[in-house]
Amino acid sequence: MAITARFLAGIELGGTRCRCVAGTGPDDIEAEEEVPTRDPASTLSALARVLQRWQDDLGPLAALGLAAFGPMELRRDSPRYGCLGATPKAGWGGVDLRGFFAQRFEMPIGLTTDVIGAALAEGRWGAARGLADYAYVTVGTGIGAGLIVGGRPLLGCHHPELGHIRIARLPTDVWPGNCPFHADCVEGLASGPAIEERTGRRAADVPPDDPAWDAVAHTLAQLATVLLLATGPRRILMGGGVMSGQPHLFPRIRRGLEESVAGYFDLDDLTGGVDGFIVPPALGARAGQLGGLAVAAAAARHTKP
Protein backbone atom coordinates (compact mmCIF):
# COMPACT_ATOMS: atom_id res chain seq x y z
CA MET A 1 0.00 0.00 0.00
CA ALA A 2 1.34 3.41 -0.91
CA ILE A 3 2.05 5.78 1.96
CA THR A 4 0.67 9.24 1.30
CA ALA A 5 3.32 11.87 1.94
CA ARG A 6 1.83 14.45 4.23
CA PHE A 7 4.55 17.09 4.71
CA LEU A 8 6.40 19.43 2.43
CA ALA A 9 9.98 20.53 3.05
CA GLY A 10 11.14 24.09 2.46
CA ILE A 11 14.66 25.46 2.58
CA GLU A 12 15.59 29.11 2.50
CA LEU A 13 19.22 29.32 1.46
CA GLY A 14 20.38 32.65 2.81
CA GLY A 15 23.68 34.47 2.82
CA THR A 16 24.51 33.63 6.44
CA ARG A 17 22.16 30.78 7.34
CA CYS A 18 19.77 28.29 5.83
CA ARG A 19 16.38 27.81 7.39
CA CYS A 20 14.63 24.49 6.89
CA VAL A 21 11.04 23.72 7.67
CA ALA A 22 8.71 20.74 7.28
CA GLY A 23 4.96 21.15 7.32
CA THR A 24 2.09 22.28 5.16
CA GLY A 25 1.85 25.99 6.01
CA PRO A 26 2.47 28.61 8.70
CA ASP A 27 -0.11 27.03 11.03
CA ASP A 28 1.09 23.48 10.49
CA ILE A 29 4.87 23.33 10.99
CA GLU A 30 6.13 19.92 12.05
CA ALA A 31 9.87 20.62 12.26
CA GLU A 32 12.28 23.52 11.87
CA GLU A 33 16.05 23.63 11.77
CA GLU A 34 18.83 26.07 10.93
CA VAL A 35 22.14 25.36 9.23
CA PRO A 36 24.87 28.00 8.94
CA THR A 37 25.80 28.90 5.36
CA ARG A 38 29.49 28.00 4.89
CA ASP A 39 31.15 26.54 1.80
CA PRO A 40 28.77 24.79 -0.64
CA ALA A 41 29.92 21.20 0.04
CA SER A 42 29.53 21.21 3.80
CA THR A 43 26.40 23.39 3.77
CA LEU A 44 24.54 21.26 1.25
CA SER A 45 25.58 18.03 3.01
CA ALA A 46 24.22 19.38 6.28
CA LEU A 47 20.94 20.28 4.58
CA ALA A 48 20.70 16.82 3.04
CA ARG A 49 21.17 15.27 6.50
CA VAL A 50 18.30 17.38 7.87
CA LEU A 51 16.01 16.22 5.06
CA GLN A 52 17.06 12.59 5.50
CA ARG A 53 16.36 12.74 9.21
CA TRP A 54 12.93 14.26 8.57
CA GLN A 55 12.12 11.52 6.11
CA ASP A 56 13.15 8.94 8.70
CA ASP A 57 11.05 10.60 11.41
CA LEU A 58 8.02 11.92 9.52
CA GLY A 59 7.75 9.56 6.60
CA PRO A 60 8.22 10.43 2.93
CA LEU A 61 8.10 14.14 2.10
CA ALA A 62 5.74 15.24 -0.67
CA ALA A 63 8.11 17.78 -2.25
CA LEU A 64 11.12 19.98 -1.57
CA GLY A 65 11.11 23.72 -2.22
CA LEU A 66 14.33 25.75 -2.35
CA ALA A 67 14.30 29.54 -2.12
CA ALA A 68 17.86 30.71 -2.53
CA PHE A 69 19.90 33.87 -2.90
CA GLY A 70 20.45 34.55 -6.58
CA PRO A 71 21.15 35.17 -9.28
CA MET A 72 19.94 31.76 -10.33
CA GLU A 73 19.27 30.11 -13.68
CA LEU A 74 15.53 29.47 -13.73
CA ARG A 75 15.04 28.84 -17.45
CA ARG A 76 13.95 25.23 -17.68
CA ASP A 77 15.40 24.95 -21.15
CA SER A 78 18.88 25.85 -19.92
CA PRO A 79 21.52 23.19 -19.17
CA ARG A 80 22.27 25.20 -16.04
CA TYR A 81 18.69 25.15 -14.76
CA GLY A 82 18.83 25.30 -10.98
CA CYS A 83 22.42 26.54 -10.82
CA LEU A 84 23.51 29.71 -9.08
CA GLY A 85 24.89 32.44 -11.33
CA ALA A 86 27.74 34.85 -10.72
CA THR A 87 27.12 35.53 -7.06
CA PRO A 88 29.60 37.57 -5.04
CA LYS A 89 29.31 34.87 -2.34
CA ALA A 90 32.68 33.10 -2.43
CA GLY A 91 32.61 29.55 -3.74
CA TRP A 92 28.90 29.48 -4.57
CA GLY A 93 29.01 30.73 -8.17
CA GLY A 94 27.81 28.02 -10.55
CA VAL A 95 26.78 25.58 -7.79
CA ASP A 96 24.10 23.17 -9.05
CA LEU A 97 21.59 23.46 -6.21
CA ARG A 98 18.84 21.52 -7.88
CA GLY A 99 21.15 18.77 -9.08
CA PHE A 100 22.55 18.23 -5.60
CA PHE A 101 19.16 17.47 -4.09
CA ALA A 102 17.77 15.69 -7.17
CA GLN A 103 20.64 13.18 -6.97
CA ARG A 104 19.83 12.38 -3.35
CA PHE A 105 16.05 12.60 -3.07
CA GLU A 106 13.28 11.26 -5.23
CA MET A 107 10.63 13.83 -4.35
CA PRO A 108 9.64 16.64 -6.73
CA ILE A 109 11.92 19.66 -6.31
CA GLY A 110 10.89 23.24 -6.95
CA LEU A 111 13.26 26.14 -6.73
CA THR A 112 13.31 29.87 -7.08
CA THR A 113 14.96 32.96 -5.65
CA ASP A 114 14.45 34.03 -2.06
CA VAL A 115 12.43 37.07 -3.10
CA ILE A 116 10.16 35.14 -5.47
CA GLY A 117 9.72 32.54 -2.75
CA ALA A 118 8.68 35.24 -0.29
CA ALA A 119 6.28 36.61 -2.91
CA LEU A 120 4.69 33.18 -3.32
CA ALA A 121 4.39 32.72 0.44
CA GLU A 122 2.74 36.14 0.82
CA GLY A 123 0.29 35.19 -1.95
CA ARG A 124 -0.56 31.90 -0.33
CA TRP A 125 -0.65 32.87 3.33
CA GLY A 126 0.10 36.59 3.71
CA ALA A 127 -0.64 40.10 2.49
CA ALA A 128 -1.29 39.17 -1.14
CA ARG A 129 -3.84 36.40 -0.58
CA GLY A 130 -6.34 36.20 -3.42
CA LEU A 131 -4.30 38.35 -5.80
CA ALA A 132 -3.06 37.00 -9.13
CA ASP A 133 -0.91 40.05 -9.93
CA TYR A 134 1.31 41.61 -7.31
CA ALA A 135 4.90 42.42 -6.47
CA TYR A 136 7.07 41.74 -3.46
CA VAL A 137 10.01 44.10 -3.00
CA THR A 138 12.70 43.52 -0.41
CA VAL A 139 14.87 46.40 0.77
CA GLY A 140 17.74 45.09 2.81
CA THR A 141 21.34 44.14 2.03
CA GLY A 142 20.21 44.29 -1.58
CA ILE A 143 17.02 45.35 -3.29
CA GLY A 144 15.06 42.77 -5.24
CA ALA A 145 11.58 42.20 -6.54
CA GLY A 146 9.53 39.11 -7.14
CA LEU A 147 6.65 39.63 -9.58
CA ILE A 148 3.63 37.39 -9.69
CA VAL A 149 1.71 37.76 -12.94
CA GLY A 150 -1.44 35.79 -13.63
CA GLY A 151 -0.78 33.75 -10.51
CA ARG A 152 2.73 32.68 -11.49
CA PRO A 153 6.22 34.07 -10.99
CA LEU A 154 7.24 36.22 -13.93
CA LEU A 155 10.25 34.62 -15.61
CA GLY A 156 11.49 35.39 -19.07
CA CYS A 157 15.13 35.18 -20.03
CA HIS A 158 15.92 35.95 -16.37
CA HIS A 159 14.16 36.52 -13.08
CA PRO A 160 13.52 40.21 -12.38
CA GLU A 161 16.47 42.28 -11.22
CA LEU A 162 14.59 45.48 -10.59
CA GLY A 163 17.00 46.60 -7.89
CA HIS A 164 19.42 47.39 -10.69
CA ILE A 165 17.33 49.81 -12.72
CA ARG A 166 18.36 53.42 -12.68
CA ILE A 167 15.64 55.96 -12.00
CA ALA A 168 15.09 59.71 -12.27
CA ARG A 169 16.89 60.91 -9.17
CA LEU A 170 15.86 63.50 -6.66
CA PRO A 171 17.58 66.62 -8.04
CA THR A 172 18.99 67.51 -4.62
CA ASP A 173 20.48 64.05 -4.10
CA VAL A 174 23.94 64.05 -5.62
CA TRP A 175 25.47 61.16 -3.68
CA PRO A 176 27.09 58.93 -6.34
CA GLY A 177 25.63 55.59 -5.17
CA ASN A 178 27.51 52.43 -4.27
CA CYS A 179 26.49 49.68 -6.70
CA PRO A 180 29.74 48.24 -8.12
CA PHE A 181 28.02 47.78 -11.50
CA HIS A 182 25.69 50.75 -11.85
CA ALA A 183 26.63 53.24 -9.11
CA ASP A 184 23.28 54.98 -8.66
CA CYS A 185 20.79 52.23 -9.48
CA VAL A 186 17.97 51.66 -6.98
CA GLU A 187 20.09 49.24 -4.96
CA GLY A 188 23.07 51.58 -5.09
CA LEU A 189 20.96 54.40 -3.65
CA ALA A 190 18.54 52.82 -1.20
CA SER A 191 19.79 49.45 0.08
CA GLY A 192 20.91 49.02 3.67
CA PRO A 193 24.63 49.30 2.78
CA ALA A 194 23.92 52.39 0.65
CA ILE A 195 22.12 54.05 3.55
CA GLU A 196 25.00 53.12 5.85
CA GLU A 197 27.50 54.63 3.46
CA ARG A 198 25.38 57.77 3.03
CA THR A 199 24.92 58.39 6.73
CA GLY A 200 27.78 56.61 8.49
CA ARG A 201 25.25 54.70 10.58
CA ARG A 202 23.43 51.40 10.30
CA ALA A 203 20.08 51.96 8.56
CA ALA A 204 18.24 50.91 11.72
CA ASP A 205 19.96 53.69 13.68
CA VAL A 206 19.30 56.58 11.27
CA PRO A 207 16.54 58.81 12.70
CA PRO A 208 13.39 59.41 10.59
CA ASP A 209 14.21 63.10 10.10
CA ASP A 210 17.60 62.42 8.51
CA PRO A 211 17.58 63.93 4.98
CA ALA A 212 18.93 60.64 3.59
CA TRP A 213 15.40 59.23 3.90
CA ASP A 214 14.12 61.77 1.37
CA ALA A 215 16.41 60.25 -1.24
CA VAL A 216 15.61 56.69 -0.17
CA ALA A 217 11.84 57.28 -0.22
CA HIS A 218 12.10 59.00 -3.60
CA THR A 219 14.11 56.12 -5.04
CA LEU A 220 11.67 53.49 -3.77
CA ALA A 221 8.70 55.55 -4.99
CA GLN A 222 10.28 55.64 -8.45
CA LEU A 223 10.70 51.87 -8.31
CA ALA A 224 7.03 51.52 -7.36
CA THR A 225 6.07 53.79 -10.26
CA VAL A 226 8.05 51.71 -12.72
CA LEU A 227 6.41 48.55 -11.35
CA LEU A 228 2.95 50.06 -11.74
CA LEU A 229 3.56 51.29 -15.28
CA ALA A 230 5.39 48.14 -16.40
CA THR A 231 3.46 45.24 -14.92
CA GLY A 232 0.39 46.70 -13.18
CA PRO A 233 0.53 44.87 -9.84
CA ARG A 234 -2.66 45.00 -7.79
CA ARG A 235 -0.52 45.49 -4.69
CA ILE A 236 3.14 46.10 -3.90
CA LEU A 237 4.46 44.54 -0.69
CA MET A 238 7.62 46.15 0.60
CA GLY A 239 9.62 44.18 3.12
CA GLY A 240 13.19 43.59 4.21
CA GLY A 241 15.15 45.03 7.11
CA VAL A 242 15.14 48.64 5.93
CA MET A 243 11.35 48.76 5.53
CA SER A 244 10.53 46.95 8.75
CA GLY A 245 12.93 49.13 10.70
CA GLN A 246 11.76 52.44 9.23
CA PRO A 247 7.95 52.29 8.85
CA HIS A 248 7.77 56.06 8.19
CA LEU A 249 8.98 55.16 4.70
CA PHE A 250 5.58 53.75 3.74
CA PRO A 251 3.59 57.02 3.68
CA ARG A 252 6.51 58.78 2.03
CA ILE A 253 6.73 56.18 -0.74
CA ARG A 254 2.96 56.34 -1.28
CA ARG A 255 3.05 60.13 -1.63
CA GLY A 256 6.04 59.83 -3.96
CA LEU A 257 4.11 57.40 -6.14
CA GLU A 258 1.16 59.77 -6.35
CA GLU A 259 3.44 62.65 -7.25
CA SER A 260 5.21 60.76 -9.99
CA VAL A 261 2.04 59.29 -11.52
CA ALA A 262 0.91 62.95 -11.60
CA GLY A 263 -2.73 62.30 -12.44
CA TYR A 264 -2.03 60.10 -15.44
CA PHE A 265 -3.90 57.25 -13.76
CA ASP A 266 -6.79 57.40 -11.36
CA LEU A 267 -4.85 55.65 -8.61
CA ASP A 268 -7.91 55.19 -6.42
CA ASP A 269 -9.67 53.32 -9.19
CA LEU A 270 -6.64 51.28 -10.20
CA THR A 271 -5.34 50.37 -6.80
CA GLY A 272 -8.22 50.91 -4.40
CA GLY A 273 -6.18 53.74 -2.85
CA VAL A 274 -2.44 53.95 -2.31
CA ASP A 275 -2.64 53.17 1.41
CA GLY A 276 -3.68 49.63 0.61
CA PHE A 277 -1.51 49.45 -2.50
CA ILE A 278 1.95 49.80 -0.96
CA VAL A 279 1.92 47.76 2.23
CA PRO A 280 4.22 45.74 4.49
CA PRO A 281 4.26 41.97 4.04
CA ALA A 282 2.33 39.92 6.60
CA LEU A 283 4.71 37.03 7.19
CA GLY A 284 7.64 39.13 8.37
CA ALA A 285 10.82 37.21 9.06
CA ARG A 286 9.08 33.92 8.28
CA ALA A 287 8.49 34.80 4.62
CA GLY A 288 11.81 33.27 3.54
CA GLN A 289 11.25 29.89 5.12
CA LEU A 290 7.62 29.84 4.10
CA GLY A 291 8.81 30.74 0.62
CA GLY A 292 10.54 27.38 0.46
CA LEU A 293 7.33 25.74 1.58
CA ALA A 294 5.25 27.62 -1.01
CA VAL A 295 7.65 26.51 -3.74
CA ALA A 296 7.39 22.95 -2.48
CA ALA A 297 3.61 23.16 -2.57
CA ALA A 298 3.74 24.32 -6.20
CA ALA A 299 6.18 21.54 -7.11
CA ALA A 300 3.93 18.93 -5.47
CA ARG A 301 0.87 20.24 -7.32
CA HIS A 302 2.58 20.25 -10.72
CA THR A 303 3.67 16.65 -10.44
CA LYS A 304 0.45 15.19 -9.06
CA PRO A 305 -0.68 12.22 -11.12
Residue 270 makes contact with a second copy by CB under 8 A: yes
Neighbour tally for 182: CB within 10 Å: 16
Name 226's Cβ contacts closer than 8 Å, sequence gap at least 6: 162, 165, 167
Whole-number minimum distance, CB 25 to a second copy, in Å?
Answer: 26
Tell me the CA distances in angstroms from 217 to 8, 22, 152, 262, 278, one per residue in order: 38, 37, 29, 17, 12
The number of beta carbons lying within 10 Å of the beta carbon of residue 122 is 27
Instruction: Give the separation between CA 232 and CA 82, rounded to whole angstroms.
Output: 28
Does 90 engage in binding with a second copy (CB under 8 A)? Answer: no
265 counts as binding a second copy under rule CB under 8 A: yes
Judged by beta carbon, residue 114 or residue 184, the one nearer a second copy is 184
Nearer to a second copy, 229 or 285 (CB): 229
Asked if residue 219 binds a second copy (CB under 8 A), the reply is: no
222 binding a second copy? (CB under 8 A): yes
Query: Residue 265: exposed, middle, or buried by beta-carbon count in 10 A (0-12, 13-18, 19+)?
Result: middle
Total residues contacting a second copy by CB under 8 A comes to: 44
- Give the C-alpha separation, 248 to 279, whole Å: 12
Q: Does 262 bind a second copy (CB under 8 A)?
A: yes
Q: How do beta strands 152-153 and 143-149 pair? A: antiparallel
Give whichever of 51 and 145 is closer to a second copy, judged by the CB atom: 145
Beta bridge partners of 238: 137
By CB under 8 A, tell whether 234 contacts a second copy: yes
Closer residue to a second copy (CB): 7 or 136: 136
Q: Which of 98, 124, 159, 254 binds a second copy (CB under 8 A)?
A: 159
Q: Does 147 bind a second copy (CB under 8 A)?
A: yes
Distance of CA 97 to the CA centre of its chain: 17
Q: Which of 6, 17, 38, 164 binds a second copy (CB under 8 A)?
A: 164
Most distant CA pair in the chain, distance: 70
**What residues between 104 and 143 interact with a second copy by CB under 8 A?**
133-134
Span of 103-111, 150-158, 208-216, 244-252 interacting with a second copy by CB under 8 A: 150-158
User: For residues 237 and 232, what is the distance between their CA atoms, to the nearest angstrom?
Assistant: 13
Options 113, 191, 271, 289; binder of a second copy; rule CB under 8 A: 271
CB nearer to a second copy: give 96 or 210.
Answer: 96
Binding of a second copy at residue 257 (CB under 8 A)?
A: no
Asked whether position 279 contacts a second copy by CB under 8 A, the answer is no
From 156, 175, 180, select the one nearest 218 (Cα to Cα): 175
Provide the CA 153 distance to its chain's centre, in angstroms.
11
Ramachandran region of residue 82, left (φ > 0), alpha (ψ -120 to 50) or beta?
Answer: left
Q: Is 226 a residue that touches a second copy (CB under 8 A)?
A: yes
Within 8 A by CB and 6+ apart from 56, the residues are none
12 sits near a second copy (criterion: CB under 8 A): no
Per-residue x/- track, 165-204, a second copy (CB under 8 A): xxxxx-----------xx-x--------------------
Q: Which residues bind a second copy (CB under 8 A)?
A: 86, 133-134, 147, 149-150, 152, 154-162, 164-169, 181-182, 184, 222, 225-234, 260, 262-266, 270-271
